[in-house]
Amino acid sequence: MIGVGGSDWKHYVRKKSHVVRRRIRKGIPDCLRGLVWQLISGSRDLLLMNPGVYEQLVIYETSASELDIIRDISRTFPSHVFYQQRHGPGQRSLYNVLKAYSVYDRDVGYVQGMGFLAGLLLLYMSEEDAFWLLVALLKGAIHAPMEGLYQPGLPLVQEYLRRFEQLVKEYLPNLGEHFSQEMINPSMYASQWFITVYSYSFPFPLALRIWDVFLYEGVKVVFQIGLALLRFCHDDLIKLPFEKLLHALKNFPDEAMNPDTLLPLAFSIKVSKRLEELKGEHEKKNERSLLQLSMPISSSNLPIQKPSAVE
Amino acid sequence: MAHRVDHEYDYLFKIVLIGDSGVGKSNILSRFTRNEFSLDSKSTIGVEFATKTLQIEAKTVKAQIWDTAGQERYRAITSAYYRGAVGALLVYDITKKQTFDNVQRWLRELRDHADSNIVIMMAGNKSDLTHLRAVSENDGQEFAEKEGLSFLETSALESHNVEKAFQTVLTEIYHIINKKALAAQEAARNSGPPGQGTTIHVVDSSDAGSSKSSCCSS
């Protein structure tokens, strides 16, 4: 199915995409994970098309974010054995990848949270591979670009949180109502879900399974997992007042974190169509407000608008 | 927000923890609310939340504390949490001059997004790292006086002054709230419901003579 170094992959994925999807949803075997991630994200092509670029970025360029990156290196997966050793190979690779990216895309630079993405990738591939996968994700090689999660103003975080809140209201109306009564909004518990694609605080076995699907199917699964968690814990959450509720939303029970329960539940929640519509609605609204912004200037010159005012 | 509720606690005060990334905000919070400190903690993404209930002048006060990601870009999300906050703990790292220089920018941030009456405590954290000190306590003190802030040097690691920093902020807020409540009562008593006071006065003065005289005569 994959072939040597992924040579048969493209052919297979075109012919049998539903088979690939089904298999990926069951979890990519750990020994193949690194390679498959690079194939399904499109990063392998970027790597092959840009020989020597990574080395150039790491060795010859300087980044304005270097100190920020260094400050966070020991605060990224601090209890993982690969990143524990101060200035050890894990921490060095992490630094190099983040620095290279901050040079490659100076508009994004380095933003807290990116370290968790890079840190997760580096457990399965080389620095250079991890760098290009990061590029593939942020620049949108296959799916919608993620760079808006990290650009100034974090526009995509705000947009995703808005859409998630709407989905909660529609798919879990009682819980959605309870959230609004308790004044809970998704920025209080779900920012990390989107910014780090569940790599920040979720157990690795679950995070990896989410990433398998995320890289193949796109950001949709981040919404699905979020909704699945809320649905799984629905009956408990709906009874809790503000503080306990917030605590529960940051500390889901172990049963909820089991990938073999949570993922099937997540896939059963169909969100693609609604997500697209919500995106459209927002864009329309934005256009309208842009229109309104320009309105007062032109309307004052338009006698048709207020005929009585024209003499 | 300062709510008064009948049970559990008398007052609920919302406090925000702000300051540059890596100055120790999350450890200050965990030290204060759970008496925990972690040398290898993760950087905060977004916002975290914890509460602690304590006694202030015989009243039970619950502090609801929002810990925010320090990196500048996160202000797009975190500044929404300043709204309704009655207190702020603005933290810098005494071993990193830059984090102290940035206090000015954090104050501007509070002025732009928070209530103008917000009580601010500036905390110079990591006071245990004396050999790495880059900001003197005196500089901190002077700056705080100039800006009208409370000030303490703290060490979340050694549990030094953390409780005191929060206690000070909360007590100050409590006093302000109390003063406001008193002033409101006072104002209510003085002006009274309009109309009513004046009518009583009129009736009083017109009847005064007769009633007094009758009182005296009897």
Taking only the tens place, the pLDDT of each residue in A152-172 is 999 999 999 999 999 999 999
Taking only the tens place, the pLDDT of each residue in A34-58 is 999 999 999 999 999 999 999 999 9
Residue A232 has pLDDT above 50, yes or no: yes
CB B100 within 8 A of CB B87: no
Residue type, A254: D
Per-residue model confidence (pLDDT) at position A283: 76
CB A95 within 8 A of CB A56: no
Residues of chain A with CATH 1.10.8.270: 30-146
CB A112 within 8 A of CB B74: yes
Residue B211 has pLDDT above 60, yes or no: no
Residue B209 has pLDDT above 90, yes or no: no
What percent of chain A stands above pLDDT 90?
83
Touching B: A residues 257-286, CB under 8 Å: none
> How far apart are the CA of A63 and the nearest CA of chain B, in angstroms?
17
Q: What is the widest separation between alpha-carbon atoms in chain A? A: 81
Taking only the tens place, the pLDDT of each residue in B69-101 is 999 999 999 999 999 999 999 999 999 999 999
B35 touches chain A (CB under 8 A): no
Residue A257 has pLDDT above 50, yes or no: yes
Considering only CA atoms, which of B82, B61, B79 is closest in space to residue B176?
B61
CB A48 within 8 A of CB A7: no
Per-residue model confidence (pLDDT) at position A251: 95
Per-residue model confidence (pLDDT) at position A13: 86
Looking at the partner chain, which of B21, B46, B71 has a beta carbon nearest the beta carbon of A192? B46
B69 touches chain A (CB under 8 A): yes
**C-alpha angle with apex A140: A135 to A143, nearest 5 degrees?**
135
- Mark B187-197 as b/e (b = at least 16 C-beta within 10 Å): eeeeeeeeeee
With contacts defined as CB-CB under 8 Å, which chain A residues touch B40? 74-75, 78-79, 84
Considering only CA atoms, which of A8, A49, A207 is closest in space to residue A135?
A49
Q: Give the tokens for residue B72.
A: 């500048």
Q: Give the tokens for residue A82.
A: 């690969």
DSSP B18: E
> How far apart are the CA of A131 and the nearest CA of chain B, in angstroms?
21
Q: Give the tokens for residue A55.
A: 């080395």
- ipTM of the prediction: 0.86
pTM: 0.87
Identify the CATH number of the domain defined by range A155-273.
1.10.472.80
Per-residue model confidence (pLDDT) at position A9: 82
Looking at the partner chain, which of B22, B48, B51 has a beta carbon nearest the beta carbon of A243? B51
Taking only the tens place, the pLDDT of each residue in A276-308 is 999 878 777 766 665 554 444 333 333 333 333
Looking at the partner chain, which of B21, B49, B74 has a beta carbon nearest the beta carbon of A188? B49
Task: Please give the torsion angle defined by the CA atoms of residues B175, B177, B181 and B186, in that order, rounded to the nearest 10 degrees.
Answer: 50
Provide the pLDDT confidence category of residue B3 given band limits of 50, 70 and 90: low
Decide yes or no: CATH 3.40.50.1950 for domain A30-146. Answer: no
Per-residue model confidence (pLDDT) at position B183: 87
Residues of chain A with CATH 1.10.472.80: 155-273
pLDDT-wise least confident of A5-9, A85-89, A92-96, A218-222: A5-9
Taking only the tens place, the pLDDT of each residue in B120-167 is 999 999 999 999 999 999 999 999 999 999 999 999 999 999 999 999
Q: Number of C-alpha atoms within 13 angstroms, CB side, residue B2?
A: 19
